[in-house]
Structure 1
């Protein structure tokens, strides 16, 4: 019997998904008799065209323009673009500049993960939501003592759920205060959030003083006091769901296919040369790498770069296979595939959505595994899960209060206002699933805070030693290529730039959301959202008539979707729009031509 004729199989769609930025749609077939999702399609209805209109621009403007890709992680884009510019321009910033950039990005991780975890994802687990979708679970939560109540102050798991209620919950409100504090920390280092005003290729324009670092530290210590409570609080909450709903580990579970492009450059190692990219990449304070079925297959950014592929499959574009080849080989002579971002040509082909054919503006980035010949649909685990998994397995990181052990990551936080010195340990979990993506997000807030303490110390040492330069001069070459690898809040981020005649000839940014929200590719492989939702069991107690799809929503939101980064404005053949205004105060405004 086909799905279409099975009486309990229902087509259900959520479009747009709420509590994220953008226009993500999730379209499913659900078997209500067996309480399981059968199929899933992930769609996005917007296209924004950065890869199109970057052509011909001055390469020095790349970071300012690409920052506007997103109003959430714009600084991640600016940073990654600067990394690509530094390589293309052959410039190495002073060490102090790198510590300032690292401090800015650490503040961004703290800000965004905090805001998303407790003000957006947290709503999926709050008292109001659980009462509507799983009343029996709420009843059990009322009777379940929170194991870490002495640390976070919430006696029962139900008390934690109440604290997450939107607008009224104590934790919900406190998280909003912390997001303001961490945003201030970012602005101290880079001038403005979310589009930094003091970040440039070659360094930063920030004036570094002891007072600057002191003001950052004062805010950081308040945040550390907060995060010491939040990590055990979320452990209590997520562990409860495993206990209350046997089998819940299968919700959002997919094969362990994780990618991390690394974060926080070490200025002693990083010179931005492509030839040494593998070496200075491994020196990052978050290790780059790819994990396949639990095995760490590479930590080499050159290997990662060579494996990048952009497939079309179910997306609204014409192919570029027979188009121009911008880069035939990398600086080491390795051949570059036509489907690599350096060689991509974006030709949009708008059409009616067909869930059996073409259905989204998001392309399908994949990583080519040379060992097996497979094009892997890597996911980021929402960012932190992949970062931790790779860093833990690699065992290369040991600085400040952080140590990767080969099977875990230890994070030591100093004494703070209300809590003593604390050591946290993220351990490689048994599953890559919904709850573990969320759990890792809490632990990575602590990781970013501990890293920031170390970066503060190193930056201040530069200032006190009189090494206060924050920028290195450079010249834009007539011909060059560059690539930047970084971790946006949600995971892998790369920018690829080709310069010809002193102008940008090709530019392609690939943030985490195209990886996670990708559709079925040319080989029929589903993207991570689709894969994670498909076959997910449904534990919601609601009937078919008032079904909310909470287990599906928890799964999608565990990846921390940010759809503005997923697709990149289409103007068709173009048209002129004339806007005429009535006279104001007796003055006629001229028509605005070319507005869109």
Structure 2
């Protein structure tokens, strides 16, 4: 829903427009802009969230063994990512290592989640902004050109023109839209085979899994994966054809959603050979992941070290509805390697809500805090983004060049993805190449490639799991005890990007717990240094290509940009009841004494 008001300005005439709520995922995200229609530019953008939920508040005092079950309820979309990350943090705190087969099972479940979530978001939510009906309403001249533009990969996906691709994504009627819904059911089944229930897993535990491994289990997964391959092999070239057309047909469109290349990835898919979860080994087992952790600044991969990534995390305020915690207790002063831990690190955060009226003109305006990464080289607090998850994962993995398992190979400037022969198509290789820009189109393009990446590497995980079954190594759980005092941190990739859980145990209970998913990294407001969050930064300064004028402006380029990050607000803000106030107490006349 968009609203508009005139805003006086000395240099130019600005129109204030708001989209609140941003729909399709969750209705608590608002985007407030000031637009110069004369110069076709978004001059200012602020990202707001209107709800607070507070898991970091009510996790205190809980049994740490319940942490993954509780935190999976943070979100109804990426709950399994939270459960997995919580288990990683608990494994570190308890000092345990999962049996290899358990790791392969978790990897297969998470691969299915990436396939499921990226597919349904890309094809049933993002592509509504690129479908025939939407383009007709916002850029009719572009649609006319699309009608006469041949699709370069028509021989693979079967769509003769670019307009045919757009029609395929029309909601409820487009064939790709409908097929994506069917594929979401298929990939959900794959997930449930490994993790028991979607989206709140019932078979994941610290120390392993409750999934019973058998040839039938992995065969059932494989049958569904083979069916999914035919879909993926059409999806990637169809995405490329459409996105390349936008670049060609609208010169300058690469500027839409473009921001400085500041990408973070915390890594995904543990390698059982290295994953002992010891903090002092975290650099090694982090680099052994099948998606490499790392941070890219201005195109340069500056670290792949999870210890360095952990030490650089800072939670800033500035425009959020919270009291500062600088006078609160420090839970962790040094990590297990002796490195000092900053007061603004998640291990030391104390969440103190301060509800107030939203002030978009120089005051506080969001329930989302402002995570930043401290770059020791420059002293800057970097507003990293996740590129919607897929862009950062592929970019870091490509530059690191550490992954090579046959089905996927990182080359130093690209990622090669090999998909085996399937029912409708021969073996195919796709190559995702590091792009020039971190922008709207490339965030969306990477998502299709990562669906292919997850499908390809799932074959490798299946091979490893079946090898354990053939050898009779069916161990999937390691016994453990909860220590009286410990700390732990888990690093993983939610579908939308970076995910970490930081845990402090005292007297056998949770003393502090902070989950940091991709949402606060991407949706953060301006921090205490005045740095805008990634949504704000990507929209602010955006060049407008929509043909509509101010009176019937839909803001399609703004919506495409925000949605390219895969926005979802439940992970960024959480429930809080406070002390409460009794307003009225009633007694039922039907409940008498002794009843």
The Cα offsets for residues 267-322 of structure 1, whole Å up to 9 and x where unpaired, read as 00110000000000000000000000000000000000000000001000000012
Matched, 1:565 2:574: no
Q: In the alignment, which of 202, 206, 220 is matched to residue 207 of structure 2?
A: 202
Q: In the alignment, which of 144, 158, 174 is matched to residue 179 of structure 2?
A: 174
Query: Do 1:400 and 1:453's aligned partners in 2 also have CA atoms closer than 8 Å?
Result: no
Q: State how far apart, in whole Å, the 2-side matches of 1:227 and 1:93 are.
A: 32
- Tell me which residue corresponds to 1:470: 476
Matched, 1:158 2:163: yes
Query: Do 1:308 and 1:367's aligned partners in 2 also have CA atoms closer than 8 Å?
Result: yes
SS at match of 1:12: strand
Q: State how far apart, in whole Å, the 1-side matches of 2:8 and 2:314 are.
A: 33
Matched, 1:45 2:50: yes
- Tell me which residue corresponds to 1:456: 462
SS at match of 1:13: strand
Q: State how far apart, in whole Å, the 1-side matches of 2:159 and 2:396 are.
A: 33
Query: Do 1:580 and 1:589's aligned partners in 2 also have CA atoms closer than 8 Å?
Result: no
User: Matches of residues 369-388 of structure 1 in structure 2 within 5 Å?
Assistant: 369-388=375-394
SS at match of 2:57: helix
Q: In the alignment, which of 251, 254, 265 is matched to residue 249 of structure 1?
A: 254
- Tell me which residue corresponds to 1:574: 580
Q: State how far apart, in whole Å, the 2-side matches of 1:221 and 1:479 are.
A: 46
SS at match of 1:454: helix
Q: In the alignment, which of 392, 399, 410 is matched to residue 416 of structure 2?
A: 410
User: Matches of residues 18-33 of structure 1 in structure 2 within 5 Å?
Assistant: 18-33=23-38
- Tell me which residue corresponds to 2:446: 440
Q: In the alignment, which of 504, 517, 539 is matched to residue 545 of structure 2?
A: 539
- Tell me which residue corresponds to 2:356: 351
Q: State how far apart, in whole Å, the 2-side matches of 1:543 and 1:582 are.
A: 59
Q: In the alignment, which of 142, 146, 152 is matched to residue 147 of structure 1?
A: 152
Matched, 1:118 2:118: no
Q: State how far apart, in whole Å, the 1-side matches of 2:458 and 2:382 are.
A: 33
Q: In the alignment, which of 279, 289, 307 is matched to residue 284 of structure 2?
A: 279
- Tell me which residue corresponds to 2:4: none
Query: Do 1:22 and 1:564's aligned partners in 2 also have CA atoms closer than 8 Å?
Result: no
SS at match of 2:386: coil
Q: In the alignment, which of 66, 82, 91 is matched to residue 96 of structure 2?
A: 91
Q: CA RMSD in A?
A: 1.4
Q: State how far apart, in whole Å, the 1-side matches of 2:396 and 2:490 are.
A: 19
Q: Give 1:588 shift.
A: 5.6
Matched, 1:553 2:541: no
Q: State how far apart, in whole Å, the 1-side matches of 2:208 and 2:196 are.
A: 14
Give ranges in structure 2 of 5+ residues lacking alignment.
1-6
- Tell me which residue corresponds to 1:269: 274
| Structure 1 length-normalised TM | 0.97
SS at match of 1:297: strand
SS at match of 2:9: helix
- Tell me which residue corresponds to 1:394: 400
How many residue pairs are counted as aligned between the two chains?
586
Q: In the alignment, which of 236, 239, 251 is matched to residue 241 of structure 2?
A: 236
Q: Give 1:543 shift.
A: 1.3
Matched, 1:137 2:173: no
Over 3 Å counting, the alpha-carbon distance change for 1:22 and 1:581 in structure 2 is: farther
Q: State how far apart, in whole Å, the 2-side matches of 1:589 and 1:30 are.
A: 64
Query: Do 1:581 and 1:589's aligned partners in 2 also have CA atoms closer than 8 Å?
Result: no
Q: State how far apart, in whole Å, the 2-side matches of 1:140 and 1:187 are.
A: 44
Q: Give 1:579 shift.
A: 8.1
Q: In the alignment, which of 324, 327, 331 is matched to residue 326 of structure 1?
A: 331
Q: In the alignment, which of 219, 222, 225 is matched to residue 214 of structure 1?
A: 219
Matched, 1:341 2:341: no
Over 3 Å counting, the alpha-carbon distance change for 1:543 and 1:582 in structure 2 is: farther
Q: In the alignment, which of 308, 314, 324 is matched to residue 303 of structure 1?
A: 308
Give ranges in structure 1 of 5+ residues lacking alignment.
591-596
User: Matches of residues 75-86 of structure 1 in structure 2 within 5 Å?
Assistant: 75-86=80-91
- Tell me which residue corresponds to 1:104: 109
- Tell me which residue corresponds to 2:527: 521
Q: State how far apart, in whole Å, the 2-side matches of 1:310 and 1:579 are.
A: 41
- Tell me which residue corresponds to 1:290: 295
Over 3 Å counting, the alpha-carbon distance change for 1:34 and 1:464 in structure 2 is: same
Q: Give 1:18 shift.
A: 1.2
Over 3 Å counting, the alpha-carbon distance change for 1:469 and 1:40 in structure 2 is: same
* Moved segments of 4+, more than 2 Å: 2-8, 575-583, 587-590
Q: State how far apart, in whole Å, the 2-side matches of 1:578 and 1:94 are.
A: 54
Q: Give 1:400 shift.
A: 3.2
SS at match of 2:570: helix
SS at match of 2:418: strand
The Cα offsets for residues 422-479 of structure 1, whole Å up to 9 and x where unpaired, read as 0000000000000000000000000000011100110011111110011000000000
Q: Give 1:573 shift.
A: 2.2
Q: Give 1:3 shift.
A: 5.8
Q: Give 1:574 shift.
A: 1.4
Q: State how far apart, in whole Å, the 1-side matches of 2:575 and 2:100 are.
A: 37
Q: Give 1:569 shift.
A: 1.4
The Cα offsets for residues 127-169 of structure 1, whole Å up to 9 and x where unpaired, read as 0000000000000000000000000000000000001000011
